Structure 1
Amino acid sequence: MPDSSISKFFEKSRKERLDTVANFANLSNDDLSVLENDCGGILFEQADKMVENAIGTFSLPLGIATNFRINGKDYLIPMVIEEPSVIAAASKGAKIARIKGGFEVSADESYSIGQIQVLDVDVKSASEQINSSSKEILELANSKSNTLSKMNKGAKDVYCKELDTPSGKMLIVELLIDVGDAMGANVTNTMCESVAPLIEQITGGRVLLRILSNYSTRRMVKAKAVFEKESVGGEQVVDNVILAYEFADNDVYRAVTHNKGIMNGTIAVANAVGQDSRAIEAAANAYAASSGMYRSLSKWSKDENGNLVGILEIPLSVGIVGGIANVHPIAKICTKILGVSSAKELACVMTATGLAQNYSAIRALATEGIQKGHMRLHARNLASAAGANSEQIDEIVKKMIRDNNISLNKAKELLERS
């Protein structure tokens, strides 16, 4: 079985890193050529087909997080993010979790929720009519996707809810759709639009909106890991991490930053494999506020042996078929590096990465502070911004760290002296 615990991966040259990843994921020479191409994976001609009014492309760094063991399987995790320290932190968190077996993650089936807004009806009576016609509605919805129907997936249930708004009462008809390994937005929207005329006919009302909900509460993912007490830093550090979590869980200002750290991990993987990061973050933030107060997405405690235990549960709608994931060359290769065979497996990997990142961030905050490690990595960006070339950067970084002054002005000063 491939081993994701790679010693000093960060010290290897680019070629050595690529060779390591290629051997781990059985990448082809064509795959390596795409990764080695510094255009970011797509040419303008491709970008022009993806969005309107295209004028160019925009690249972000693609890195690899190591040490991950999830449900007994090793992964190298591709991450696309511009922020320094995130990939290193995720790798460090995974390394500590690995001591106790890694991450245990479970995911719901891939159910998407579609919503049809019905106006100008008696909600109670219309709901009864919808419920009695649910079989007909489901049959019509499923007729719009032969692929899902052949896989015994597709629309599975219809239910109703009442909203009391300033404009009056509304009936919301919801479709529950098993979308398999797709994110499911297109098929969900298609089914909602297809059944809208039938729902108008059944209820005598007027349908307005017909669209999926990105609040994917029927696609929950739960990750858990045990972090050995001694490796965390001892009993006092474990207790401090828990106190830091309790701060986040009870103060919205802290919770937002705490959850942003979780998303640093989860969204960096989403970016790498072509997922809808805006939908993922919107759903996670809604879930963080589901109790009526915006709180920590993760939970931290200790077990009977004093080890630190982290749990992260989030709604997560992802796919490995359809969408940009099957169009963008880099996204396709990153999915190949991950080696995931289902949307559920991808969701498990992304949630584990979020938990690993959260561990490293909250431990750093509870000990030395976040800036020490972050600013050391940020020093390279500052040296580059000051105008240093590739041969000068390492020396300037060493001197900034030596002088305990990591700033753009210091980088410029050192560059002028060199």
Structure 2
Amino acid sequence: MNIISGFSKLSKLEKINYLVENFLNGSNFSKNKIKSFWHDSENEQRVFDDFSENTITNFYAPYGVVPNFLLNNKVHCIPMVIEESSVVAASAKAAKFWLERGGFKAEVVSTTKVGQVHFIWHGDSEKLFKVFEESKDELIASVDPLVVNMNKRGGGLLSLTLKECTDLEEGYYQLHGEFETCDAMGANFINSVLEAIGKKWQELVMTSDFLEETQRDIQVVMCILSNYTPNCLVKAWVECDIEELADRGLGMSAEEFANKFARAVRIARKDVNRAVTHNKGIFNGIDAVVLATGNDFRAIEACGHAYAARDGQYRSLSNCIVENGKFKFELELPLALGTVGGLTLLHPMSKISLDMLGMPNAKELMMITAAIGLAQNFGAVRSLVTTGIQKGHMKMHLMNILNHLEANDEEREKAKIEFDTQIISFNSVRDFIAGLRNYQ
């Protein structure tokens, strides 16, 4: 067994040597490849190393852009970090399509975030609620030093309520806080406030004159924000007259396309098998912008999927309405994003992304991100109901196959011509390249 003690205390090079010797067959190729992805600047590399733990190198992902993206009558060039073929191309194609039809629209509905102090207490709940009501002002005042700066920016702790959750777990209660964190995502701020509230609440319960001594026993289980933020909500949409959808690339009339498109979205609203893939496509666009701007795509996805199942069934996050000669395609979801704090300005490429977007505030970034998710969804559904999704996807995937086969420039050009109208598979491309090489 290759057990090691004190691995985190080793230097970066010592970590790499250990991995090479014990897990990479002593390969100098692997060692050199790992080191080749280090940043040329030691200062820049130190920033990357400090993002996480036991860092040995960097893992690159493609950074692309979608130009000509018209949102709320302003043209953007939107950065996207994603490795999946055809995502950026589909978003760019959707952006071009809607550029001529009024562009995308978006609005922020609300920006409230939440967190809870989870605790266990046994006794007469009416007495506990009385303790809370009598001490609520003191409880909130106890975190004044923590919220003063956020208050100056227009945010802070908006409300605090006591919730009985004994139907979920014996003796289980929550202090439920609602927060406004302005342009910050706010996780550290919320968690710090909740921990201070939890400590003060425990003190107040244990010393309350309203409770008998036998009812002063309280166990604070945890103090933590929730990544489920259904009241941090944004909407994005596109709309036009059905006749304006006419496009030679559809291969059908505008009316047939509108109805077929709407039916495909309705299926995703009703069938969970389709809904999961449908929403995955939405997050292809959203995650790419979230990553490019240094935000937390895992929190965004977890919240979005929970929101998609808020009525008890998992459904499409987007919706399509075709009526009275009008076509409207819309998306609504929670997006708790920030443009200050975290990695947003610490990661050098995140800072460039925000510069590219005109240094948006959090609300503006919410609208941009929702709109690119809708664009990606439109592009994917459009392909599905017209040419099929594989035609464009596999053309992009051809490049991956050719890279895997280490094709040279001449071979790549001949392969593009050969597979312009043929079905693309790894075996067929491999055999074609092998044939070229044997012929030579």
- TM-score bracket for the superposition, by shorter chain length: 0.7 to 0.9
**TM-score between the two structures when normalised by the length of structure 1:** 0.86
Tell me the distance in 2 between the aligned counterparts of 1:68 and 1:40. 33
CA 1:196–1:313: 2 relative to 1, 3 Å: same
**TM-superposed deviation, 1:43:** 4.8
- Mean CA deviation greater in 63-72 or 124-133: 124-133
User: TM-score of the superposition, structure 2-length normalised?
Assistant: 0.82
Decide whether the 8 Å contact of 1:43 with 1:57 is kept in 2: no
Cα-to-partner distance string for 1:268-321 (whole Å, 9 max, x where unaligned)? 10111111000000000000000100001001112422x421110001110000
**Matching of residues 58-97 of structure 1 within 5 Å:** 58-97=59-98
Please name the residue that 2:338 is paired with. 319
Which residue among 200, 206, 211 is the counterpart of 2:224?
211
User: How many pairs does the alignment contain?
Assistant: 380
Could you tell me whether the CA contact under 8 Å between 2:39 and 2:45 is conserved in 1? no
> Is the 1:109–1:219 contact (alpha carbons within 8 Å) kept by the matching residues of 2?
yes
**1:129 maps to which residue?**
131
Secondary structure, in 3 states, of the residue corresponding to 1:322? Answer: coil
- Segments of structure 2 that go 5 or more residues without pairing to the other structure are 1-36, 206-215
Provide the residue aligned with 2:190 in structure 1.
188
Are 1:371 and 2:387 an aligned pair? Answer: no
Match of 2:14 in 1: none
Give 1:308's aligned amino acid: F
User: What residue is the counterpart of 2:10 in the other structure?
Assistant: none
Q: C-alpha distance in 1, partners of 2:133/2:231?
A: 20
Partner of 2:5: none
Deviation string 1:209-244 (CA, Å, 9 cap, x unpaired) is: 100000011210011111533246511111111111
Write the letter of the residue equivalent to 2:300. I
Which residue matches 1:224? 237
Give SS of 1:313's match: strand
Mapping for residues 6-405 of structure 1, pairs under 5 Å: 43-121=44-122, 122-164=124-166, 167-203=169-205, 204=216, 205-227=218-240, 228-231=244-247, 233-305=253-325, 307-390=326-409, 392-402=411-421, 404-405=422-423
> Given residue 385 of structure 1, which amino acid in structure 2 is its aligned partner?
H
- Write the deviation string for residues 363-401 of structure 1: whole angstroms up to 9, x where unpaired: 111122111111111111111111213453233222222
Distance 1:274 1:123, change over 3 A: farther
- In 2, the alpha carbon distance for the partners of 1:163 and 1:335 equals 42
Instruction: Give, in angstroms, the shift of residue 92 of structure 1.
Output: 1.5
**TM-fit CA distance, 1:208:** 1.2
Distance between the aligned counterparts of 1:133 and 1:314, measured in 2?
Answer: 36
Q: Which residue of 2 aligns with 1:9?
A: none
Q: Are the structure 2 counterparts of residues 312 and 288 from structure 1 closer, same or farther at C-alpha, using a change threshold of 3 Å?
A: same
| Structure of greater Rg | 2
Distance, in Å, in 2 between the alignment partners of 1:196 and 1:376 is: 56
Contact map agreement 1:142 1:149 (CA 8 A) in 2: no
Q: For 1:96, what is the secondary structure of its paired residue?
A: helix
Which stretches in structure 1 are left out of the alignment for 5+ residues? 1-36
8 A Cα contact 1:40 1:58, kept in partner: no
Q: Deviations over 1:154-206 (max 9, x none)?
A: 11111232223564141111111111100000000000001112212333422
Moved more, 144-153 or 267-276: 144-153
Q: For residues 101 and 141 of structure 1, do their structure 2 counterparts lie closer, same or farther at Cα, with a shift above 3 Å needed?
A: farther
Could you say what secondary structure the match of 2:239 adopts? Answer: strand
**Partner AA of 1:199 in structure 2:** W
By how many angstroms is 1:139 displaced?
A: 2.3
User: Where does residue 211 of structure 2 map in the other structure?
Assistant: none
User: Are the equivalent residues in 2 in contact too, given 1:40–1:330 (CA < 8 A)?
Assistant: no
Q: Secondary structure at the match of 1:401?
A: coil
Query: 1: distance between equivalents of 2:285 and 2:39?
Result: 24
Tell me how far apart the structure 2 counterparts of residues 409 and 343 of structure 1 sit (CA, whole Å): 47
Q: Identity over the aligned pairs, expressed in percent? A: 35
In structure 2, what is the Cα distance between the partners aligned to 1:210 and 1:343? Answer: 25
Task: Name the SS for the 1:326 alignment partner.
Answer: coil
* Residues 1:130 and 1:101: Cα distance change in structure 2 (over 3 Å): farther
Aligned AA (2:407): A
Q: 3-state DSSP class of the match of 2:246?
A: helix
Question: Structure 1's 166 and 155: CA in aligned 2 closer, same or farther, altered over 3 A?
Answer: closer
Q: For 2:115 and 2:225, how far apart are their aligned partners in 1?
A: 4
Alpha-carbon RMSD across the aligned residues, in angstroms, is 2.1
Is the 8 Å Cα contact of residues 109 and 235 (structure 2) preserved in structure 1? no
Residue 141 (structure 1) shift: 2.6
- What amino acid maps onto 1:213 in structure 2? S
Inter-partner Cα distance in structure 2 for 1:50 and 1:156: 31
Cα deviations by residue, 1:7-35 (Å, 9 ceiling, x for unpaired): xxxxxxxxxxxxxxxxxxxxxxxxxxxxx
Name which of structure 1's ranges 133-142 and 219-228 shifts more when overlaid on structure 2.
133-142
| Counterpart contact for 1:109–1:178, Cα < 8 Å | no
Q: Which is further off, 128-137 or 63-72?
A: 128-137
Q: Which string of whole-angstrom CA distances, capped at 9 and with x for unpartnered residues, describes residues 97-126 of structure 1?
A: 223321221114532211101211444432
Distance 1:152 1:264 in 2: 33
Establish whether residue 413 from structure 1 lines up as the match of residue 431 from structure 2: yes
